[in-house]
Amino acid sequence: MLFRDLPPVERVKRLDALGYQVEIWDWTRHDIPALAATGATFSSMTGYVSGTLADDAGADELLRTAAQSIPVAKELGVPRLNLHGTGLDSRGLPVQPCPIVTGAMWLKARDTLSRIADLGERHGVTFMLENLNLPLDHPGTPFGRAEDTLALVSSIDRESLGLNLDLYHAQIGEGNLIELCRRCLPWIAEIQVADVPGRCEPGTGEIHYAAIARALDALGWRGTVGLEGWASGDDEVALQRFRDAFTL
C-alpha cells in the first residue's frame, strides 16, 4: 500500500532498506523467487486463494488453497498466514455475501478453523483470522466483526490459530479499542493499524494511537504491529508517523 509508483519487488526492497518488515496480500500475483531474493523479512501474507468458512465445499476449497499457500510462506519465511470469513474480490467485497449468519454456519466455521489449526500445527505456521469492518469497506462479509473473530478463535484456543486484530476495521465497526485489545490479547497473533477516516497513517484521523501503544505495552504485547494503510502524502513521512506513534 506504500511506494505504489514502484514495482512490487522494488517496494519490498525500499521497505526493507528503511528497516520495516513486509506484508503481502494475494501471493499468486507476485514473483515469489524475486521477493525471496530481496532478503527482506516478511511478517504475514494472505494464507488462502479461495474458499469460505461456513459451507462444506467452500471449507474444502479453503483448506486446499491454504495448503498451497504454505510452501510459498516457507520460501519467503512468512510465519503468519491471514484468513477472512470468505474470499474477497478485487474491491474487498465478499465473493459470497452473507447478510445473515446462522447457528449452523457458526458451527461449520468453527470446524473449518479447527482443521486450519491442524494444518498450521503440522507445518509450523500460524493462521490468523482477520476482522473486517462491515459498514464501509466489506459489507456482507460473514464473521467480520472483531467480536466474531474473537469468539471463533478463542473457542478453538490453539497456538496455530490466532487473531489478526485490525484496529482500523474495529474502530469503524465497534470502537472501544483499548478494551478490545485487552479482551483479545491471549489470542492476538498480529495487530494492524490505520487511522479513521481515510485508512492512512496514524495521526491523520481520530484514533489516538500513542495511547493505544502505551496500553499495549502495559498489557505486555511484544508482537508485530503492522501499518495496513495508505500514505496521506509522502510515503516515508507516513512510515515515520507510524513509527513515532508506536515508539514509547
- Residues with a catalytic annotation lie at 130, 228
Question: What are the φ and ψ backbone dihedral angles of 180, each rounded to 5 degrees?
Answer: -60, -45
Residue 90 burial by Cβ neighbours in a 10 Å radius (0-12, 13-18, 19+):
exposed
- Letter for the amino acid at 236? E
The answer to whether the beta carbons of residues 134 and 92 sit under 8 Å apart is: no
71: left (phi over 0), alpha (psi -120 to 50) or beta: alpha
The answer to whether the beta carbons of residues 108 and 59 sit under 8 Å apart is: yes
For residue 243, count other CB atoms closer than 10 A to its CB.
15
The answer to whether the beta carbons of residues 168 and 228 sit under 8 Å apart is: yes
248/244 Cα distance (integer angstroms): 8
185: left (phi over 0), alpha (psi -120 to 50) or beta: alpha
50/164 Cα distance (integer angstroms): 18
Give SS3 for 163: strand
